[in-house]
Amino acid sequence: MKRFIPSVCLSICIGSSFLIAGCGNNSSPIENSFTNAEGKAEVVTELYSSTDIGDVYNSDVDLSSSFDVNSIEKKMTELAMANSGVDSEENLERHLIVTPADMDIELQFKVPVESIFLEGGVYTNVSNIAIWTSENPDIAGVTQGEITAYKVGETNITVSYRDITKTVHVNVVEKTKWEEKDGSWYYYDANGKKTTGWKSIDGSWYYLSNNGSMLTGWQKIKDNTYYFHSTGPMAQGKWVQNPDDKAWYYFNYNGKMATHKWIKDGANTYYVHGNGKMAVDEWINPDEGLWYYMLMDGKMARDRAIDIKGISYQFDKDGKCLNPDGN
């Protein structure tokens, strides 16, 4: 018997990403999403997967959709086996990554929790097909990874997938407690203790230094580069311009700065170098024999001819240059 779970389709990227077949509503901006003639969401048979965990965060929930879990898991395992090179799925290494594992949330707020399944080096966001339960639904309820705060108190949310279970601690407060002192902001938990390190508050990530002060701007934390807005929240799925070099940088949904990868942003595709800078007005040759050209605004040239230094180059709909030698 096939298992069907109401859920959502996921967005599309290129580069390290694998195939997606999804669904969406009539207003969906996602390329290659679809609805049937009556506007009803189709059954999703494949989930978005990638070898880069930063690609699979931010799964929006659409309860009008449903997932064919058997088909999804079969294709996930096929991708994992192909990526890892093992000859049996029993040899695949599997992990469940749930974030945040601890959060503060104000009354009536709704906050998503991400459940990422790692199998054979391939990450898949399984938030919408995992099993979620709340120890005390009167305090906080959960539906496919979306937590809603109903009553002041503490509870645990459990998420289970493929015989792996993780727990998320939820602290519902009437009002989050921030305090400004000498130009810096500090956050205090329900017990009045000053918070340090990473903290998820009302669905946004903050980083509090060793003395508890909230960090803003560009920050290097454990070899990764992040950007925190002036009000404190970490940039997620955002482009940020560096005021010093004027270059644009992309921050994945896990907050880490993207490096050496393609970025799919709406209908446009961009490329960021190993130092994170967006490629502008230049050729990109990620794969031997394939050439792409990034325009002045960083967008990939597609389905058009462009005159570059007096030579006309033709690009197909996927951005590949058809005459890289200029002939």
> Which tens digit of pLDDT belongs to each residue from 70-116?
999 999 999 999 999 998 888 999 999 999 999 999 999 999 999 99
Residue 62: predicted pLDDT: 60
The CATH architecture one would assign to domain 176-234 is: Ribbon (2.10)
* DSSP per-residue string spanning 18-60: ---B----TT---TT----TTSPPPEE-B--EESSGGGS----
Equal fold, 103-172 vs 240-326: no
Q: pTM above the 0.85 mark?
A: no
Percent of the chain, pLDDT > 90? Answer: 72
Distant-in-sequence, close-in-space partners of 181: CB < 8 Å, separation ≥ 6: none
The answer to whether residues 205 and 212 touch, using CB atoms and an 8 Å cutoff, is no
The CATH code of domain 240-326 reads: 2.10.270.10
pLDDT band with cut points at 50, 70 and 90 for residue 286 = confident
Parse the chain into domains and list their residue ranges.
103-172, 176-234, 240-326
d(CA 136, CA 138): 5
Query: Radius of gyration over alpha carbons of the chain, in Å?
Result: 22
The answer to whether residues 326 and 306 touch, using CB atoms and an 8 Å cutoff, is no
Average pLDDT estimate for 231-238? 96
Which range (7-21, 65-79, 151-165) has the least confidence? Answer: 7-21
Residue 58: predicted pLDDT: 79
Q: Is residue 217's pLDDT more than 50?
A: yes
Q: Is residue 24's pLDDT more than 70?
A: no
Show the tokens assigned to 159: 């998420």
The CATH architecture one would assign to domain 103-172 is: Sandwich (2.60)
AA identity, residue 164: I
